[in-house]
Amino acid sequence: MRKDYEAILEQVAHGSRILDIGCSDGQLMELLEKKKGAELRGLEISQAGVNACVAKGLAVIQGDADKDLGLFPDNSFDLVILSNTIQATMNPHDVLSEIHRIGQRAIVSLPNFGFWKIRLLLALKGRMPVTKDLPDTWYNTPNIHLCTIQDFADLARETNFAIKAIMPINGEVRGRSVTKTGFFTNLLAQKAVFVLERV
Amino acid sequence: MSRKQTKLTFDKPLVLDSGAKLEPLTVAYETWGTLNQAKSNAILVCHALTGDQYVTGIHPITKRAGWWDNVVGAGKLIDTDKYYVICANVLGGCMGTSGPQDLKPDGKPSALDFPIITISDMVRAQAMLIEALGIDKLFAVIGGSMGGMQVLQWIATFPDKVFCAVPIATAARHSAQNIAFHEVGRQAIMADPDWRNGDYLAQKTFPSKGLSVARMAAHITYLSDVALHNKFGRKLQNREQLTYGFEADFQIESYLRHQGQSFVDRFDANSYLYITRAMDYFDLAETFEGSLTKAFGAFEGAACVVSFSSDWHYPPSESRAIVRAMMAAGVHVSSLEVETDRGHDAFLLDEPVFHIALSGFLQSQAEAKGI
């Protein structure tokens, strides 16, 4: 199982109401349904993704995280999941505020631009880093709002979330979960999974 | 494929939203396939304004394929080898179900004495048919455009009689623009001297011109600007140059005239008035204390809401309002906004993305239901 999915599954109480934003072909939704008996809804932008989900019997709305979170009523979910998507939204602040309105808790995973390899690439080559995780060039990347773990932690606090856990992930290895952002977490984690709760 | 053509006349009257009583009520319908022993495989297909119960196979009047022949049939997406498919002519229609052409006790056609009907009345008439067929719960109710309105009304009025619902290219209420276009159509019919204040059947005339113009105006709303441009552009009809007159110089004019003329051969003018009125009166939220969420509150099944990007008749924003309300009501709702330039009529055409979604939804629901 993907390490970020594994980290997410551990955070989910049985029978939770969950919204998966950017649910793709519904792989995580299926896992959550099977393993956690969750009541799930998804939001996905691509027609292929929505069709794959619908064929699996998953309840998925075609829409855009930037525009369509208004479809979901206040407090309608126990948990909102946004995996590997925040950096591709037009307005991460608004998206996070909407998630705050919709759900009690949130799990947000993102690539960490503060990872040492990325810093090194930028420092040594003087060019925007292209890595396995971020394979696009600056002009054609969907990731228009890249940030570091510390940057995201600031935004989470600004949108009235408390950070319950930060789980660093490096490739197939999960690091030790922390509750505070620190210099070394920010330097050593390739990706991070944030567990947020409304203040 | 087995096909039966039947009419049912009910002993008990249908009390309409207007308060009027309709009796006797007759419902003309078609079925395909076989109802299984558990009676769990019935799909009700609801037709649009100018559709009818001849969904698939050869239409008895036009001699052409039914309006959803590409989707419904043996081995097709809505597989009549697997499902028992029912489609009834709507109340007010002109294909055998009670409508303004019905004869009164004095032997004259009802014409404008026929009571005003609503989408909800149509659905309650269908429910009487379903009950008479011995079906307690429909596996699915599916329909586009006005058929989609009936789907929404079904899950609002009979939430426990529907396992899953597919409203396509539709709206939960008629907008001012929708009403406006319908009013143009109705006025065209009424302005035809042969309409005779609705009494044309008794007076042996027919408002062909008016009904034809109504159809022409409506037909424009079913297509997108891009679709019209791609199909016709400014191309001339069988001529090299403009005639400097009012003949159908342009292909689009000729096309619309043809659409209008062929429509009057198969449709009744008063039916057109009554059914468009029913659509104009449709506002599902209004009957649920102004809350669309309340309308869907008792429905525990799944729904798949489909819209088409270039549909300006029932645009995707109308579907989003439906989805938002269903989401708030806790319905197991999926939705798809199909990217297409073919406008409202896309729901009748071969749209692969739409068909994959519909097929996937039905299959997953059939698995859940064990059929």
**pLDDT over 70 for what percent of chain B?**
99
Residue among B323, B333, B364 minimizing CB distance to A55: B364
Residue among B324, B328, B361 minimizing CB distance to A54: B361
How much is the mean pLDDT over chain B? 96
The answer to whether B165 contacts chain A (CB < 8 Å) is no
- Choose among B161, B211, B159: nearest CA to B185: B211
Per-position pLDDT tens, chain A of length 199: 888 888 899 999 999 999 999 999 999 999 999 999 999 999 999 999 999 999 999 999 999 999 999 999 999 999 999 989 999 999 999 999 999 999 999 999 999 999 999 999 999 999 999 988 889 999 999 999 999 999 999 999 999 999 999 999 998 888 889 998 899 999 999 999 999 999 9
- Choose among B182, B183, B206, B204: nearest CA to B193: B206
- Buried residues in B234-249 as b, exposed as e (16+ CB within 10 A): eebeeeeeeeeeeebb
**Gap between the Cα atoms of B108 and B278, Å rounded:** 24
Query: Cβ B356–A51 below 8 Å, yes or no?
Result: yes
Q: Look at residue B3 in the predicted model and tell me its pLDDT.
A: 45
Please, which residues bridge with residue B22 across strands? B14
Q: Which residues of A touch B (CB under 8 A)?
A: 41, 47, 50-63, 68, 70-73, 76
Which among B305, B317, B319, B327 is the top mutation candidate for probing chain A, defined by the most A β-carbons within 10 Å of its own β-carbon? B327
Contact list, B338 vs chain A (CB under 8 Å): 47
Smallest Cα distance from A74 to chain B, Å:
9
For residue B322, the chain A residue with the least C-alpha distance is A71
Residue among A47, A56, A71 minimizing CB distance to B323: A71
Query: Cβ A62–B320 below 8 Å, yes or no?
Result: no
What tokens were used for B333? Answer: 């709702």
Which helix (DSSP H) or strand (DSSP E) does residue B219 occupy?
A: helix B208-222
Residue-wise pLDDT for B141-193, tens only, equals 999 999 999 999 999 999 999 999 999 999 999 999 999 999 999 999 999 99
Residue type, position B362, single letter: L
Residue-wise pLDDT for B259-300, tens only, equals 999 999 999 999 999 999 999 999 999 999 999 999 999 999
Q: Look at residue B235 in the predicted model and tell me its pLDDT.
A: 96
Asked whether the beta carbons of B174 and B160 are under 8 A apart, the reply is: no
Contact list, A60 vs chain B (CB under 8 Å): 334-335
The answer to whether B335 contacts chain A (CB < 8 Å) is yes
Q: Look at residue A1 in the predicted model and tell me its pLDDT.
A: 81
At B4, the pLDDT band (50, 70, 90 cuts) reads: low
At B2, the pLDDT band (50, 70, 90 cuts) reads: very low
Q: Look at residue A86 in the predicted model and tell me its pLDDT.
A: 95
Residue B145: active-site member: yes
At B5, the pLDDT band (50, 70, 90 cuts) reads: low
Query: Cβ A70–B356 below 8 Å, yes or no?
Result: no
Residue B332: active-site member: no
For residue A56, the chain B residue with the least C-alpha distance is B364
- Choose among B296, B361, B285: nearest CA to B159: B296
Query: Cβ A56–B368 below 8 Å, yes or no?
Result: no
Residue-wise pLDDT for B16-40, tens only, equals 999 999 999 999 999 999 999 999 9
Query: Which one is catalytic: B249, B280, B311, B345?
Result: B311
Residue B311: active-site member: yes
For residue A50, the chain B residue with the least C-alpha distance is B336
Helices (H), chain A: 3-10, 27-36, 47-55, 92-102, 116-125, 149-158, 183-188
Please, which residues bridge with residue B15 across strands? B21
